[in-house]
């Protein structure tokens, strides 16, 4: 049998050729590569879910919704927004609530009536949430009681009306209540609002690790091409991994996803929610992440797919009850949102006899599209982020902006129809991020001869020790393989002589004692001495993370270097 790289290449060519389901064309003056058959608008994209009727779509803490019941609520809400609230195309409507079914209903209604959806980070403070409402100019915000209390003092001054889901207080005359609006409009048709592919559909705020978040502006075209790209990858991977797909069908379990990551991030919103809504797959939503509860749900709901940040996947597989739980249905595991450390693959191999493992590389600004890797491709090059999407053009550039040859590491720039074209109200950020249709990712990496993407680190994380470049990701990957280390983060320590040196924050695994000298001994024959941490902190606390699962190194610097 040909190797996996060749099979992926051949499958891609077959799927993308003229007349094929994923035929690629070059369209417009910009020459973007596009899927000819992708939906033109998000309403067209999500309406495919209506065909699944009485099939079960959503499970949340004992509540169950079929596809039909879900869309009945979407239609009722969409009717209210247009007919009662007089919403017009282009109005911004925010969502600020934890993962609830109402989040999904509100999102689908908003994008179906021509409004611009603004998902806000529900982990945010009052100041952060209100900043998002003000920056986007939101007319309405769908929220839960907790977020309402954080935002309410400023809603009137912002000219923003709150619609509250699962309210615990229902006598507030300044807000509307989600359940009442649905009940009053059930049975009414969803209004038709003409939309174009180039109309703005979403402003999704980046979950950055420093500074104010930026509103990434996506059109219907950007998002529809991205969602169609997810579907292409799934089919391409299936064609390239026939034995894995045969094994999946032999299991006899219907596809079912465990959703444990935030819906306000692309990994939860796109790869779980929208793909399942369109594709007819059941989604089981968790109230909050708990490996114990996840194991219970995998057993009772026959979960087949679990994709989350790598640390959550490893928490699940390392849990003491994993070996005695019924996980026979669990087939596909994915690590996204943060780089997969080598320990991710090692933990899966040590725990499961077989798993269809995947990872990928994308960001909010690329609508999650760049590279993907599943099945044999992941085993073939486990340190890679996968093969480059056929929609994406790739460059690496040096610090002077010169384009580097294939295989050379530099800052990654990508050109794609899925890329946003701008940040909302951020002209200075637009100048530094965009070069025509090319977009700077802020990541350092390279593309190899077989079209596999490799990430070296973040440009802003680079530590320069006496003129030597040190990428924290390399040290973190090495430390992740230590049997006693649960997680590690490398930060820059100012140094009068060398400029800066690497420092390590280490969280040991449960019931394991580690000393700084043990860490240095472990690294001695694995990394050059100049890459060894000059200072090591051992902490029992979980690493601070943002909603995407990325460690907040600015917070670690504040804790350990202030």
Mean pLDDT of 246-254: 90
Mean pLDDT of 521-537: 90
How many residues belong to the chain?
562
40, 224 contact by CB (below 8 A): yes
Cα–Cα dist 98/60, whole Å:
13
User: Phi and psi for 74 in degrees, rounded to 5?
Assistant: -60, -45
pLDDT at 125 over 80: yes
Cα–Cα dist 109/310, whole Å:
32
Helix H, strand E, coil C: the string for 197-214 is CCCEEEEEECCCCCCCCC
Longest dimension (CA), the chain: 72
pLDDT band at 208 (very low <50, low <70, confident <90, very high): low
Helix H, strand E, coil C: the string for 60-123 is ECCEEEEHHHHHHHHHHHHHHHHHHCCCCCCCEEEEECCCCHHHHHHHHHHHHCCCEEEECCCC
H or E element: which one contains 388?
strand 386-388
Domains of the chain, CATH where assigned: 1-37+221-240+365-457 (3.40.50.12780), 67-205 (3.40.50.980), 462-561 (3.30.300.30)
- The DSSP bridge pattern shows strands 371-374 and 410-415 to be unpaired
Mean pLDDT of 270-287: 96
Nearest to 105 by CA among 62, 150, 46: 46
**For 150-192, what is each residue's pLDDT tens digit?**
999 999 999 999 999 999 988 888 899 999 999 999 999 999 9
H or E element: which one contains 415?
strand 410-415
342, 383 contact by CB (below 8 A): yes
Q: Which two tokens stand for residue 449?
A: 């001869």
pLDDT for res 207: 61
Q: How many CB atoms lie within 10 A of CB 164?
A: 25
Q: Where are the beta strands (DSSP E) in 220-300?
A: 256-259, 282-285
pLDDT band at 395 (very low <50, low <70, confident <90, very high): very high
Place of tokens 């780089």: 339
pLDDT for res 552: 86
pLDDT band at 1 (very low <50, low <70, confident <90, very high): low
Q: Which residues contact 302 (CB under 8 A, 6 or more apart)?
A: 253, 254, 256, 329
pLDDT for res 118: 98
Average pLDDT, the chain: 92
Mean pLDDT of 285-311: 94
pLDDT at 29 over 70: no
Q: Which two tokens stand for residue 233?
A: 């990858």
pLDDT for res 354: 82
Q: Which residues contact 134 (CB under 8 A, 6 or more apart)?
A: 158
Q: Which two tokens stand for residue 491?
A: 């930060």
Q: How many CB atoms lie within 10 A of CB 27?
A: 13
pLDDT for res 210: 52
State CA 193 to chain mean position distance: 29
95, 108 contact by CB (below 8 A): no
Cα–Cα dist 475/492, whole Å:
12
551, 489 contact by CB (below 8 A): yes
Mean pLDDT of 106-134: 94
Cα–Cα dist 456/511, whole Å:
32
pLDDT for res 338: 55
pLDDT at 367 over 70: yes
H or E element: which one contains 500?
strand 499-508
Q: Which of 67-71, 462-466, 508-512 has the largest mean confidence? A: 67-71
pLDDT band at 28 (very low <50, low <70, confident <90, very high): low
Top pLDDT among 226 and 267 is at 226
**For 403-439, what is each residue's pLDDT tens digit?**
999 999 999 999 999 999 899 999 999 999 999 999 9
Give the CA radius of gyration of the chain. 24
State CA 84 to chain mean position distance: 34
Cα–Cα dist 350/450, whole Å:
28
Q: Which residues contact 544 (CB under 8 A, 6 or more apart)?
A: 551, 552, 555, 556
190: left (phi > 0), else alpha (psi -120 to 50), else beta? Answer: beta
pLDDT at 337 over 70: no
Q: Which residues contact 498 (CB under 8 A, 6 or more apart)?
A: 465, 466
Percentage of the residues of the chain whose pLDDT score is greater than 90:
72
Mean pLDDT of 193-198: 95
pLDDT band at 383 (very low <50, low <70, confident <90, very high): confident
Mean pLDDT of 486-515: 89
Residue 243: exposure state from Cβ atoms within 10 A (0-12, 13-18, ≥19): exposed
Q: Which two tokens stand for residue 133?
A: 């409402």
Distance between first and last Cα of the chain: 57
**For 77-95, what is each residue's pLDDT tens digit?**
999 999 989 899 999 999 9
pTM of the model: 0.87
pLDDT for res 172: 84
């Amino acid at each position: 049998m040909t190797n996996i790289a060749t099979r992926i290449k051949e499958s891609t060519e077959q799927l993308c050729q003229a007349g094929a389901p994923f035929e690629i064309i070059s369209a417009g003056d910009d020459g973007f590569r596009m899927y000819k058959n992708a939906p033109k608008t998000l309403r067209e994209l999500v309406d495919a879910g209506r065909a699944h009727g009485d099939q079960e779509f959503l499970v949340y803490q004992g509540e169950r919704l079929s596809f039909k019941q879900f869309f009945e609520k979407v239609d009722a809400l969409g009717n209210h927004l247009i007919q009662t609230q007089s919403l017009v195309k282009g109005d911004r409507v925010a969502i600020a609530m934890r993962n609830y079914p109402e989040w999904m209903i509100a999102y689908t209604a908003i994008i179906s009536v021509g409004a611009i959806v603004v998902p806000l980070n529900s982990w945010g403070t009052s100041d952060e949430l209100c900043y998002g409402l003000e920056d986007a100019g939101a007319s309405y915000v769908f929220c839960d009681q907790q977020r309402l209390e954080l935002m309410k003092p400023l809603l009137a001054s912002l000219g923003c009306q709150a619609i509250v889901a699962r309210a615990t207080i229902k006598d507030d005359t300044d807000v509307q209540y989600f359940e009442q609006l649905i009940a009053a409009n059930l049975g009414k048709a969803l209004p038709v609002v003409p939309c174009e592919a180039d109309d703005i559909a979403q402003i999704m705020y980046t979950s950055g690790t420093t500074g104010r978040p930026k509103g990434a502006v996506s059109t219907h075209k950007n998002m529809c091409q991205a969602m169609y790209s997810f579907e292409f990858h799934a089919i391409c991977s299936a064609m390239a991994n026939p034995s894995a797909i045969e094994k999946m069908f032999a299991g006899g379990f219907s596809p079912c996803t465990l959703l444990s990551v935030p819906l306000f991030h692309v990994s939860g919103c796109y790869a779980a929610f929208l793909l399942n809504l369109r594709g007819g797959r059941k989604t089981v939503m968790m109230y909050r992440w708990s490996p114990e509860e996840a194991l219970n749900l995998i057993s009772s709901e026959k979960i087949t797919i679990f994709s989350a940040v790598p640390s959550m996947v490893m928490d699940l597989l390392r849990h003491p009850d994993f070996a005695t739980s019924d996980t026979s249905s669990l087939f596909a595991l994915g690590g996204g949102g943060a780089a997969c450390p080598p320990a991710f693959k090692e933990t899966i191999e040590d725990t499961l006899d077989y798993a269809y493992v995947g990872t990928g590389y994308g960001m909010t600004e690329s609508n999650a599209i760049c590279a993907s890797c599943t099945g044999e491709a992941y085993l073939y090059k486990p340190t890679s982020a996968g093969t480059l999407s056929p929609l994406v053009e790739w460059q690496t550039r040096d610090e002077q902006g010169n384009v580097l040859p294939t295989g050379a590491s530099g800052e990654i720039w990508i050109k794609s129809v899925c890329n946003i074209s701008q940040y909302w109200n951020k002209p200075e950020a637009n100048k530094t991020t965009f070069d025509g249709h090319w977009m700077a990712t802020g990541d350092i990496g390279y593309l190899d001869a077989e079209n596999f993407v490799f990430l070296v680190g973040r440009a802003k994380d680079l530590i320069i020790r006496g003129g030597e470049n040190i990428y924290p990701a390399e040290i973190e990957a090495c430390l992740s393989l230590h049997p006693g280390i649960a997680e590690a983060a490398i930060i820059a320590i100012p140094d009068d002589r060398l400029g800066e040196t690497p420092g390590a924050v280490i969280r040991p695994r449960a019931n394991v004692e580690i000393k700084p000298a043990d860490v240095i001994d472990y690294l001695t024959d694995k990394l050059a001495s100049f890459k060894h941490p000059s200072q090591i902190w051992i902490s029992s606390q979980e690493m601070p993370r943002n909603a995407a699962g990325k460690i907040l190194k600015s917070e670690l610097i504040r804790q350990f270097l202030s």
